[in-house]
Amino acid sequence: MKADMFRLDGKVVVVIGAGSGIGASVAKGVAQQGGTTICWDVKGDTAEATAAAIRAEGGRAESGVVDITDEAVLNAALDGVVTAHKALDGLVCTPAINVRKSILKYSGDEFDRVVKVNLRGNFNVLMATGRIMTAQKSGSIVLFSSIRSIVTEPRQAVYSMTKAGILQLAKTAATEWAEQGVRVNAVGPGVIETPLTAPIKAVPEWYAAYANKTPMRRWAHADEMAGPTVFLLSDAASYVTGTILYADGGWLAADGRFTPPGI
């Protein structure tokens, strides 16, 4: 067993959504483990801010603007990475959007918008990355699903549907590309303090209800998603593919919110 199997020295990893939240934390985690991080976001200034923070700490990082719903831009950007670095060892895709509405109040435009980013965007990423990695016969892809791939709640129909779909995309790609040496997995966060969940944090009762649902009685910080992701990118996960790693504070393990007396 290699002592440094969790390290990413010499690896080039693209992190999409690196401008904030989980993506920024993952990008920094990759660099801290010795990898070269390519920080991409739909907002170029935030992507560069993350890359600059990595470089300030002595890491290697670049930045760029990428919209995962734009196939042409995505493919060109990934080709540019391979041209510049001669390989693409890992890719992490974190972007997602959510429109919290009951099924009967959802508009067609809102449905299309969530599906376009969360499902079509991840599918675009899989296709573009898989094309490169299957040709070079190596690589690790990590998509971001959610506990909502398994459990849901009112006003989460479309988001939950897309997160379940992302998991199935990861599983299918893993089965198709395993013989080419490409691993595909997903991370399933629980409740994480990010810009996406800011509306929940703004309502104390809502925020507390989510915290109390987990056995750990708290939300996660975005940087707590870096470790699970780096593991899936690293050689320590060389026999891990087609699965999801839930990092949810025990949310899915707990049945109910009441502890019976005397226990």
Q: Note down the domain range covering 168.
A: 12-245
In the predicted structure, residue 233 carries a pLDDT above the cut 60: yes
| Contacts of residue 170, Cβ cutoff 8 Å, sequence gap at least 6 | 141, 143, 145, 184, 185, 186, 242, 244
Residue 5 lies in a domain: no
In-domain check, residue 48: yes
Residue 159 catalytic?
yes
What CATH number is given to the structural domain containing 143? Answer: 3.40.50.720
Count of domains observed in the chain: 1
Q: How far apart are CA 20 and CA 68, in angstroms?
A: 16
**CA 151 from centre of chain:** 18
User: What was the pLDDT predicted at 1?
Assistant: 60
Domain for residue 258, yes or no? no
State the alpha helices, DSSP H only, in the chain.
Answer: 21-32, 44-56, 71-85, 108-115, 121-136, 157-177, 198-201, 204-213, 226-233
pTM here is 0.95
Q: What percent of the chain has pLDDT over 90?
A: 90
Q: Is the pLDDT of residue 34 over 70?
A: yes
For residue 63, tell me if it sits in a domain: yes
Mean pLDDT of 150-173: 97
Residue 18 lies in a domain: yes
Residue 64: both structure tokens together? 């760029």
Spatial CA neighbour of 130 closest among 168, 75, 81, 80? 75
Query: So what's the pLDDT on residue 89?
Result: 98
Mean pLDDT within 16-20: 98
Check pLDDT > 80 for residue 258.
Answer: no
**In this structure, is residue 214 part of a structural domain?**
yes
Residue 240: is it exposed, middle or buried by C-beta count within 10 angstroms (0-12/13-18/19+)?
middle
Measured distance CA(236)–CA(156) in Å, rounded: 34
Average pLDDT over residues 26-38: 98
Contact 201, 193 (CB under 8 A): yes
Q: Residue 259's pLDDT is what? A: 66
* pLDDT for 257 beyond 70: no
Answer yes or no: is 257 within a domain: no
Annotated catalytic residue: which of 159, 207, 239, 246?
A: 159
Residue 2 within any structural domain of the chain = no
